[in-house]
Amino acid sequence: MMKSQDVKKVDIVIAGAGPVGLAAACSLSGTGLQILLIDAGKEAFTLDEIRKNADQPDFDPRVSALTMSSQVMLEQLGVWELMQSVRVCPYHSMDVWDGEGTGSIHFAAAELYAESLGHIVENRLIKAALFERAKSSPQITTLHNTEIEAINTGENSDNSLVIVTLANGDTVATSLLIGADGGNSFIREQSGFTVRQWEYGHKALVTTVKTESDHQFTARQRFMKTGPLAFLPLYLASAEKSGQQYCSIVWSCVTEEADALMALDDQEFMKRLGEAFEFRLGKILHIDSRACFPLWQRHATDYVQDNIALIGDAAHSIHPLAGQGVNMGFADVEVLSQVISSALVKGEDFPSHQTLSRYQRARKGQNMTMMAAMEGFKGLFGSEDPGLKWLRNSGLKLTDKLPGVKKQLVRQAMGL
């Protein structure tokens, strides 16, 4: 690995080594450009470290529901098999129901003659596999435990470069700076991007539980007026009898209730969780440590400037009720990589606003559509209006009886 003081100029700097930033580095390394990946956090877990405990119920509380389109991208990057060699959990069906009524809908991969609707994968495993791939590329240099202190876009001797100043005083000149540094993006803020944002007044509580009954590789979500509760299946191949009894939960609820739930001891919390989930998987037998974080919706008015592009949560972050955040980020990566690769082949100025705008045009509309849909779902299921309650319950029941509509919804959920 190259030390920070050795770095003078690179073609691309990527800020943020989460799943989306790492995927961008791996994808763009195929262009032959030199890439520097900078992250304020420590180096990711290695695959070997995760493998050591892969036969134990030691799960990352943060997971992602990867769509088929995300899986295809990860296969193309050569990391999907690495993840499969440790542990990923397919889900073959999905049950969604209205906790305030009688409406429900069931989706099945068999309706599309597919093996699964997607896979539930621990975030640390996604990062570890991508980091393994990044370390094998001579085009990628990584710097962890390194903060970016400032960026300069117009006051240097070469206006075609962005000057990145690190916390240790070192500077890096780059043709393209990619912000993949999350919802509170420093790159977005320092570059002057305008962002529309608001707090949902909700927090997401995440943890891993062991349930009395097997999940049968089904993702389940109950909508309540205080927010949705999801049980996402995990699989432990070494546990022959209990391998299907583990689930990752994402419980999104109003801030006051989330704080109250976090204050409960484990036994009382498991009781409340079982009740909220209507004991669909029996009693909650065990719970890991809980984490809780506030939920925001953010959307940058623009994703690009000359020599700068935003991807993933730095460009858009949404409510986790549909689990689409990382999939949207991976789609950003795929399009941005295609735009840059095409520009290089044509001899175009790949970091120019004109070139990068192609990425924005391709992704902004799709992201806005998904964000609007999630906002609509949240408003619909959070309403106590009797008319809306009747509408959503009737709509769920009707949709469940319309195979053509269900197939289209399933295809969209799979990213197809």
Instruction: Output the pLDDT for position 212.
Output: 96
Nearest CA to 322 out of 107, 27, 60 is that of 107
Instruction: Output the pLDDT for position 390.
Output: 47
- CB pairs under 8 A, 24+ apart, for 224-227? 224/99, 224/100, 224/253, 224/276, 224/381, 225/99, 225/100, 225/381, 225/382, 225/383, 225/384, 226/253, 226/254, 226/257, 226/382, 227/202, 227/251, 227/252, 227/253, 227/254, 227/321, 227/382
| d(C-alpha 239, C-alpha 59), whole Å | 14
Question: Does pLDDT of 324 surpass 80?
Answer: no
Question: Does pLDDT of 319 surpass 80?
Answer: no
CATH number, domain of 203, equals 3.50.50.60
User: Which residue is it, tokens 């009886």?
Assistant: 401
Question: 124-163 burial string, b = 16+ CB within 10 Å, else e?
Answer: bbbbbbbbbbbeeeebbbbbeebebeebebeeeeeeebbb
Strands 227-234, 246-254: pairing is antiparallel
| d(C-alpha 263, C-alpha 292), whole Å | 11
Question: Does pLDDT of 188 surpass 60?
Answer: yes
Question: Does pLDDT of 340 surpass 70?
Answer: yes
pLDDT digits (tens, 9 = 90+) for 212-239: 999 999 999 998 888 889 999 999 877 7
Domain coverage including residue 343: 4-413
Average pLDDT over residues 379-394: 52
Residue 317 contacts residue 332 (beta carbons within 8 Å): no
Average pLDDT over residues 276-299: 94
Average pLDDT over residues 158-178: 91
Q: What percent of the chain has pLDDT over 70?
A: 83
pLDDT interval class at 158 (50, 70, 90): low
- Read off the pTM: 0.88
Supply 118's token pair: 């997607």
pLDDT digits (tens, 9 = 90+) for 16-25: 999 999 999 9
pLDDT digits (tens, 9 = 90+) for 46-66: 999 999 888 888 899 999 999
| d(C-alpha 185, C-alpha 179), whole Å | 7
Mean pLDDT of the chain: 87
pLDDT interval class at 379 (50, 70, 90): low
Domain count of the fold of the chain:
1
Instruction: Output the pLDDT for position 375.
Output: 59
Supply 298's token pair: 């953010």
Average pLDDT over residues 347-376: 86
pLDDT digits (tens, 9 = 90+) for 92-130: 998 988 877 667 788 888 877 788 999 999 999 999 999
Strands 9-15, 35-38: pairing is parallel
pLDDT interval class at 383 (50, 70, 90): very low
pLDDT interval class at 357 (50, 70, 90): very high
Question: Does pLDDT of 202 surpass 50?
Answer: yes
Instruction: Output the pLDDT for position 397.
Output: 54
Conformational region of residue 238, where left means phi above 0, alpha means psi within -120 to 50, and beta covers everything else: alpha
Beta bridge partners of 151: 164
| d(C-alpha 311, C-alpha 364), whole Å | 11
Instruction: Output the pLDDT for position 384.
Output: 57
SS (H, E, C) 254-292: EHHHHHHHHHCCHHHHHHHHHHHCCCECECEEEECCCEE
- Residue 372 amino acid letter: A
Instruction: Output the pLDDT for position 245.
Output: 95
